[in-house]
Amino acid sequence: MTDDVMATPIAGRSLWGDAWARLKANRAAMFSLYYLIAMAVICVVGPYFVPHQYTTIYADYVRTAPSLSSYPKPDMIETALAEAVKRMRVDVKEWHQEGERVFVTVASSKAVDERNARYLDRSDTFDDAKVEGKSADGREMTMSASVKQQYFFFGTDNTGRDMLSRTLMAGRISLAIGLLAGFVAVTIGVVYGATAGFVGGKTDEVMMRIVDVLYSLPFIFFVIMLVVFFGRNFVLMFLAVGAVLWLDMARIVRGQALSIRRQEYVQAAEALGVRTRGILMRHVIPNLLGPVVIYMTLLVPQVIILESFLSFLGLGVQEPMTSWGVLISVGAKNIGTANWLLLFPAFFLVSTLFALNFVGDGLRDALDPKDR
């Protein structure tokens, strides 16, 4: 018996292994994590599978309500047909539908040109137009065309663009911006805060005064100044936004670095003659990582909200590129007539923010040393 026990020594769990085990036990956080992964995958891969490009304009389907069945609806065929025939400058004599195909006979006072059939193809509703026959005097012509079946699960927007592909594209942009700006903020904040905390003394004093002064300026003023400087180039702008959000990170890291420096194990390491570099790598940085990771998960939703806020004001991402903020701002202006323009992007944004929050809370519980 005892031999068996001795044969498999119990492996201690590392800080990260321990945290992971705690996180796995937190069902809300794990569900949110999977949700976020699914959301990211759908937004990145999804647009390739949606048959509509996010920039394609379907003139026949402006502000079409979301529907699980295919378009065109039976009553839409006649309007689309009338529209196409109007372009031919002829009159509809008779039309009927046989299965997938529509047959239309047109009449005119002059001879009807066969090339007119292409007007049917140009419509978003029809496809594969053919001339079936002409009357002897050429003033009547019968054409047929198949009805193009299209799906708009999320409906279409004011110019007739598919909302599903737009919402997914928007998600790509919003998530990418959140990660990008979050990463910039964390990098600047960690470097600045760790330097101030570790160097200490007068340098620390001056560096932190600078942070205080930047804090006292209204935040939105800062962001708008950056927008003004960097124009509407959104990548540059969100690097800049990241460059604004580092203030909290710097404070947290500095405080942490200061307190770690004063720990006995660091003094012991110093007494043993470990170099500064070694102390930084072995003691300071691993102990800093926890708060940094937690703060980063809380920062990403902040950035996404900020991006949406700026896009809402018309300062962020510009058309035809889109983001959840852009879509919500359009939706907010059209709630009376087309509420799906608001509801779908709002659901995507809010559920992502929720999930990010739960993951952040879960990580805080998993990594918080006070909790052990």
Residues 134/112, Cβ–Cβ less than 8 Å? yes
For 82-160, strand residue ranges (E) read: 91-98, 101-107, 126-134, 140-147
- 315 or 367: whose CB is closer to other proteins? 315
Site for other proteins (CB under 8 A): which residue of 5, 216, 277, 370?
A: 216
Q: Which residues contact 41 (CB under 8 A, 6 or more apart)?
A: none
User: Does position 224 bind other proteins by CB under 8 A?
Assistant: yes
Exactly one of 107, 313, 320, 321 binds other proteins (CB under 8 A); which one?
A: 313
Applying CB under 8 A, among 312, 327, 340, 366 the residue interacting with other proteins is 312
| Smallest distance, other proteins to C-beta of residue 312, A | 5
309 to each of 22, 167, 202, 220, 324, how far by Cα in Å?
34, 17, 38, 10, 10
To other proteins, the closest distance from the beta carbon of 67 in angstroms equals 20
* Helix boundaries (H) for the chain: 2-7, 15-25, 27-49, 74-88, 118-122, 163-199, 201-216, 219-230, 234-244, 246-261, 264-271, 276-279, 285-312, 324-333, 340-367
Q: Which of residues 335-364 bind other proteins (CB under 8 A)?
A: 335-336, 339, 342, 346, 349-350, 353-354, 357
Quickly count: other Cβ atoms within 10 Å of residue 70's Cβ.
Answer: 12
Contacting range for other proteins; rule: CB under 8 A; set: 53-61, 111-119, 258-266, 333-341: 333-341
Q: Which stretch binds other proteins (CB under 8 A): 14-22, 236-244, 245-253, 330-338?
A: 330-338
**Binding to other proteins (CB under 8 A): which residues in 147-206?**
none
Tell how strand 140-147 and strand 101-107 pair up.
Answer: antiparallel
Residue range at the interface with other proteins (CB under 8 A); choices 115-123, 146-154, 281-289, 312-320: 312-320
Q: Which is nearer to other proteins, 287 or 311 (CB)?
A: 311
Q: Considering only residues 57, 274, 293, 305, which one is a binding residue for other proteins as defined by CB under 8 A?
A: 305
Query: What gap in Å lies between CA 125 and CA 75, rounded to an integer?
Result: 12
> What Cα–Cα distance (Å) separates residue 242 from each residue in 184, 185, 235, 269, 281?
5, 4, 11, 35, 26
55 lies in the binding site for other proteins (CB under 8 A): no
**272-301 mask for other proteins (x: CB under 8 A)?**
-----------------------------x
Q: How far is CA 207 from CA 131, 239, 249, 365, in A?
A: 79, 21, 14, 31
Nearer to other proteins, 88 or 342 (CB): 342
Q: How many CB atoms lie within 10 A of CB 302?
A: 19
**Contacting residue, 7, 136, 213, 272, with other proteins by CB under 8 A:** 213
> Site residues (CB under 8 A) for other proteins?
213, 216-218, 220-221, 224-225, 228-229, 301, 305, 308-309, 312-313, 315, 325, 328-329, 331-332, 335-336, 339, 342, 346, 349-350, 353-354, 357
